[in-house]
Amino acid sequence: MVAAASVVVAVGTATGMLTALGDDGGGTDEARPEVTRSPRLQSLPLVPSPSPSAKPSASASPSASASAPAKKASPGPSRKKTPEAKSRATPASTRLYRHPESQVLDWVRAHADDPRQDVIRSRIADHPAAVWFADYTPSTITSRVRAVTSGGAAEGRVPVIVPYAIPDRDCGGHSQGGAPDLDAYDDWIDLFAAGLGSREVVVVLEPDSVAQAECLSAGERADRFASLARAGRVLKDANPHARVYYDAGHSGWHAPAKQAGWLKEAGAASAASSDGIFSNVSNFHTTADEVAYDRAVLDALGGPESLGAVIDTSRNGNGAPPDGEWCDPAGRKIGRTPTLSTGLGRIDAYLWVKLPGESDGCKGRPGTFTPSYAYDLAR
């Protein structure tokens, strides 16, 4: 990513966190239905925010972007009061799927005698986290997605999966890559959707693809948003039980009205393509800040009342560092346990989208599991 985005760190053909590639780990501190393309939606006038838009800060989102330090901005207040008691139907399943292959599990299995093993196993490895698909491999993407969704279905649990192959992702930062162009991306999404199965699944669609779109020209941004709107429709057409969430950045980045304007162009306000938004992916902002911010974005976004938000709580236990550091900052802790039942209105889930212990690139190679970092986060 470019200055101050959410840092999504990709390694080789896949991001860190859980991946569906089965990469081998090693070492002591390094584990290793056809839908036509959307027409462009007209740009919406952005409602001026009472405070200037803040650049993203403390971003360690899954696109390994180098983010310049920026101070966290307080999200604006929600425009309407939302009761704490959940007004929307709770998802049928409240149990999340833990994929049996990940860098942290590889490390735990290989280091039974390491004194850090018990803490890392019990506080990180035993919890469910997202599975990322960050490589452009059309020939295998359907079978790899199906392996994860069928695994979840067999256990009666809900997988969280992350398609991460939009062209020009990360604006040429550490996680550059993805499909060669948007036509190829549309085809890749069709193949991705073919592996979704028919049971409930949560799809975190393309971290940073909306919040970081300022690096694109107006025309490129409109084309990207058209592809994202199409992607949501394809995913939900393929599996009506899929819950698709769009990129809202985080509470220290864009003002809610600005982010909502872009999200609307990208299809996030339509029930045909979206179940709502996600925020704080691989970042550190407190859950309270994200709840307030996400509700403000949803209020500005409009759309059906069924739209909600999911928050990445994997590393936000101590909040964002005051200096805005994004790369493996010291003093951070794991946050709330992943759940599909938060008890809060319009907040659908707390998820571990970024797997705690996978480095942003300062305490280990970008995207690799680094036990010293994991231990610091978990103890």
- Which residues form the catalytic set? 170, 208, 360
CA dist 120 and 266 (Å) reads 38
Cβ pair 18, 11 in contact under 8 A: no
Cβ pair 144, 20 in contact under 8 A: yes
Minimal CA–CA distance to 294: which of 133, 235, 283?
283
Cβ pair 35, 282 in contact under 8 A: no
How does strand 10-11 pair with strand 14-15? antiparallel
CA dist 170 and 175 (Å) reads 6
Minimal CA–CA distance to 245: which of 227, 261, 231?
231
State how far the alpha carbon of 180 is from the alpha carbons of 136, 142, 349, in Å. 8, 18, 33
Dihedral sign, Cα of residue 122, residue 128, residue 129, residue 134: positive
Phi-psi region of 94 (alpha: psi -120 to 50; beta: other; left: phi over 0): alpha
State how far the alpha carbon of 279 is from the alpha carbons of 87, 215, 351, in Å. 21, 19, 10
SS3 30: coil
DSSP letter string over 251-282? TTSS-HHHHHHHHHHTTTT-TTT-SEEEE-TT
